Structure 1
């Protein structure tokens, strides 16, 4: 009977391989970039028929640490044939020296169409046809791979930051003993962040948008910060929010929570939420935490219209 330590060592000896594919525009590039940050070796737009040779070139078992390998490919990859890919993967899974998984990134067709229209990119399978035609053709082509993949992430409601967080949570090679804290700002007019643990609505504060001199600035500018601080409600509200967060974070850590996302929202995500997130992040650093600070809508082109109440698709 094999003990757990021997089993664990055996798993560690295997070459870890992750195939990353999915719908164009669903986030493959973002996922691979995060995996690279996590220490994975990345190969993108790889002719998948050459997969066996790439794996053979990896360091042999027992030769030291085997860097996990992530291979990105999609419908644009030369020789793309889902049936052949699945057969090839099945053969590789029978080997005892590799641990192979397939990640499929999906996204709702309407959201993909919006992303293409926003970036003005042409779909690879659409030629001179509408984007929706290319998306339908791609979805039909990829259906066997989607069914085959053992991991599926739907990014329809994700921002880039949301996807980055999910990839980090799923694929970090070892669980960090230190809790990862993210502080972010966002605009309610563009939707709430789907993966936030704590959300604070800062729309009760006076809005700098209505000051024509402050409107083009952001919560990172001193004049906007001074304006927000002058609101009689700010100091007490900020103190209570800060104290609550500092009370909760050690409790989350004690419960073994690895990631905590604290989000601050205002109307357009450019002024009040940005300033408050900046101040909270500074307070957490003073308390010994090392938060990651993200501003989801700071560069949004339509933020001024959203602040003014005129709705427009993002």
Structure 2
């Protein structure tokens, strides 16, 4: 099969469904997956929007449009817009649903009225919405019942359905730093490498950094270095797996030494290498204080 050309129309996803069923959660998850997301777009604006994305060539390969009853009378244009677009675009429709009881509880929890309840009750609005959305639900490619899903579970379901195969669900940054410059402000976990002898006191290594093979060899040869790396990497694996289950998309593991120049640089890179094969995890390395005097 020939690869898609940059000027070929990209994939389009319409996200719709019952108010309170999780459209915002799905939209946020799609943005994290690098979809271009447009919220509350009137259906008759779908074609002009997609024409604009086509003019961008391959810059906007995947577009997700959130359409709901906030558009009031304009929402009735959605079935016809779907049929027109399916003729020349790769279009999928995901419909989010939940039981009446769950939807009522969600509206009561946020203390907001249903957009269609008018002078009636929340349940009146839900019933009107179900009637209006029945044709759209019937034509949907994917129906997700979110009654028993929390926001993390719904996000993970979105990733599994609409993420690229093999795409990372979590990115961890291994960041070296120097304690004398203070802790990084946005870290999740901190490891202290000051239990290892400091290469700074070795005249031949002082001017070098942990990027130099001679410093790496010196640090890894110290008692406890390899044992720490193996044990800490083993301990981090279930943490990375748990972050994925909880839909925590990013984390920072800070690896510190006195100045952030020798030991922490070596150990951050070694930890990154040991975590590189954790399924669903992308690993980055950053050196906050490397180069400081």
Q: Same fold (TM over 0.5)?
A: yes
Q: Residue 54 of structure 2: which of 50, 53, 59 is its match?
A: 59
Partner of 1:153: 144
Q: Is the CA contact 1:49–1:79 (under 8 Å) kept in the aligned structure 2?
A: no
Deviating beyond 6 angstroms after TM superposition, the runs of 4 or more aligned structure 1 residues are none
8 Å contact kept, 1:19–1:72: yes
Give me the whole-angstrom Cα distance separating, in 1, the residues matched to 2:164 and 2:97.
24
Please name the residue that 2:38 is paired with.
43
Find the counterpart in structure 2 of residue 90 from structure 1.
83
Corresponding residue of 1:261? 245
Q: Could you say what secondary structure the match of 2:53 adopts? A: coil
- In the alignment, which residue of structure 1 is the partner of 2:67? 73
* Alpha carbons 2:9, 2:54 under 8 Å: kept: no
Q: Distance in 2 between matches of 1:179 and 1:122?
A: 35
How many pairs align? Answer: 200
- Aligned-partner Cα distance in 2 for 1:64–1:49: 24
Is the CA contact (8 Å cut-off) linking 1:38 and 1:168 kept in structure 2? yes
TM-score w.r.t. length of structure 2: 0.57
Counterpart selection for 2:124 from 133, 149, 155: 133
Q: TM-score, normalised by structure 1?
A: 0.54
Give, in angstroms, the shift of residue 150 of structure 1.
Answer: 0.6
Looking at CA atoms only, which structure, 1 or 2, has the larger radius of gyration?
2
Q: For residue 77 of structure 1, give the secondary structure of its aligned residue in structure 2.
A: helix
State the superposition RMSD in angstroms.
3.9
Could you say if the C-alpha distance between residues 78 and 125 of structure 1 is closer, same or farther in structure 2, counting changes exceeding 3 Å?
Answer: closer
The Cα offsets for residues 44-75 of structure 1, whole Å up to 9 and x where unpaired, read as 111111111111111348x3443311111111
SS in 1 for 2:109: helix
For residues 147-296 of structure 1, the aligned pairs below 5 Å read 147-176=138-167, 180=170, 261=245, 289=275
Return closer, same or farther for 1:60/1:133 CA change in 2, 3 Å cut-off: same
